[in-house]
Amino acid sequence: LNCSVLHLLHLDTVYVNKTVPPVFHDCPGEFIPGKDEKYALCNITNGDSPCALLKEMHKAKEFRVYGLAVVPIVLSILAMILNITYLIIQLRIYLKEEESARKRYLFLISRSLSTIMALILFYVVIICWKSDGFAYASAMIFLLFGGLNFLSITGTYIALSILLYTAIVHPFYYQSEITIKHCYALIASIWLCSAIASICVGLWGATLFYPDSSPVHCTFRGCQKPLAIIIVIGLSISYGSVLCVYAALIVRLQLRLHRSNSSLTGGIKSDRNDERQLSHVRAMNRLGMNMVTFAVGTVPILIVCIVALVNLRSLSSLGMS
């Protein structure tokens, strides 16, 4: 209505001249007052039309809203529902199973909690992003919980692999010596170590992106670059150790089972023990599928870390504006 009145009064040209920078005079309909003024200062050296670039930028922003917010939120809500449902099922099975199976389900429950925590972290990132509050404190929280999620899952997978291997290869030791209390203590130690390491990653990792607002003084050459290298190497070692431990245990398990079958002479065996061992073998195979998912899903994290390390000097200026 305002634009129509201006047009009738032949004042629309004056209105455009006052609100639209000269570089965008040819596309006043594409220009958004109050948001696009800063782009008038951009230096265009390749001869492209400013209006065409502004239009492409608006398309990119629309894609960012849907591609980085709406669609991921919908998928994350679905994933949250599935993970909570899976967690409830695991808790019910845990309460009904015997102690031998409960040991395994404890680690699966721990993994589900880590996954749910990662989804909650995603919502925190979206809120910080949309509220323009992504600064040192929010970056620290993001890195802290992200590191806690990653390290707790890697620790859980390593412990679960060793636990299942012990259950198959040393069933009597597994039944008599490893108790539920030991599993609780191991899970607690995994989360404790992950929390301590994540606090360090959060406190010092956020300085890589916001060095000026960080309470910890950290220069690029003296602190930021070595710290980034240590973080990337640490995450890579954690990632590789999970796959290496599982692969080594699988190879050793196959060799041991092969030797056991070759030396079998028809002695009396307990059907109950055989059934338990087969159950653990099946669990080990299912864990293998989870390992594949972990390997594929974690590769992007390592790629992002490596890219961030390569472009660290540019990223360190994020908190200066």
Q: Residue 316: name the closest of 163, 147, 175, 136 by CA.
A: 136
Cα gap 178→28, rounded to integer Å: 73
Residue in 193, 177, 165 with CA at minimum distance from that of residue 277 = 165
Digit-coded pLDDT (tens) for 57-91: 777 666 655 555 677 778 888 989 998 999 999 99
- 27 backbone dihedrals φ, ψ, rounded to 5°: -140, 60
Max alpha carbon distance in the chain (Å)?
104
CA atoms of 321 and 318, how far apart (whole Å)? 6
Q: Residues with Cβ < 8 Å from 213, sequence gap 6 or more?
A: 135, 136, 319
Q: How confident is the model at residue 43 (pLDDT cuts 50, 70, 90)?
A: confident
Give the mean model confidence (pLDDT) for residues 87-96: 90
Per-residue pLDDT, 275:
65
Cα distance between residue 313 and residue 302, in whole Å: 18
- What percent of the chain has a predicted confidence (pLDDT) above 70? 77
| Amino acid, single-letter form, for residue 184 | Y
**Selection from 28-32, 70-74, 155-159, 298-302 with the highest mean pLDDT:** 155-159
Confidence of residue 215 (pLDDT cuts 50, 70, 90): confident
Residue 32 tokens read as 């958004």
Structural domain spans, the chain: 132-259+294-320
- SS3 category, 80: helix
Q: How far is CA 171 from CA 1, 49, 78, 163, 274, in A?
A: 80, 73, 39, 10, 10
- Return the minimum-mean-pLDDT range out of 113-127, 147-161, 303-317: 303-317
Residue 164: how many CA atoms within 13 Å on its side-chain side?
A: 27
Residue 320, pLDDT > 60, answer: no
For the beta carbon of residue 260, count every other beta carbon within 10 angstroms.
Answer: 10
Alpha helices of 170-267 — where are they, by DSSP H? 171-176, 180-205, 225-262
Greatest mean pLDDT among 10-24, 95-109, 277-291: 95-109
User: Which amino acid is located at 282 in the chain?
Assistant: R
Give me the mean pLDDT over the 35-39 stretch: 76
Residue 4 CB neighbour total at 10 angstroms: 9
Query: What angle, 0 to 180 degrees and rounded to 10, lies between the N-to-C axes of helices 99-130 and 136-169?
Result: 160
Which pLDDT band holds residue 10 (cuts at 50, 70, 90)? very low
More confident call, 303 vs 185: 185
User: Within 13 A of 104's CA, how many CA atoms are on the CB side?
Assistant: 23
247-283 pLDDT tens trace:
888 888 777 766 766 654 444 455 555 666 666 667 6
Q: Which residues contact 93 (CB under 8 A, 6 or more apart)?
A: 101, 105
Cβ–Cβ under 8 Å, residues 144 and 175: no
Q: What share of the chain is helix, strand, coil (3-state, %, to 5)?
A: 80, 0, 20
Query: How many angstroms separate the CA atoms of 89 and 8, rounded?
Result: 68
Higher pLDDT among residues 147 and 212, named by residue: 147
pLDDT of residue 321: 43
pTM of the model: 0.66
The pLDDT value given to residue 132: 58
Residue with tokens 């949309």: 130
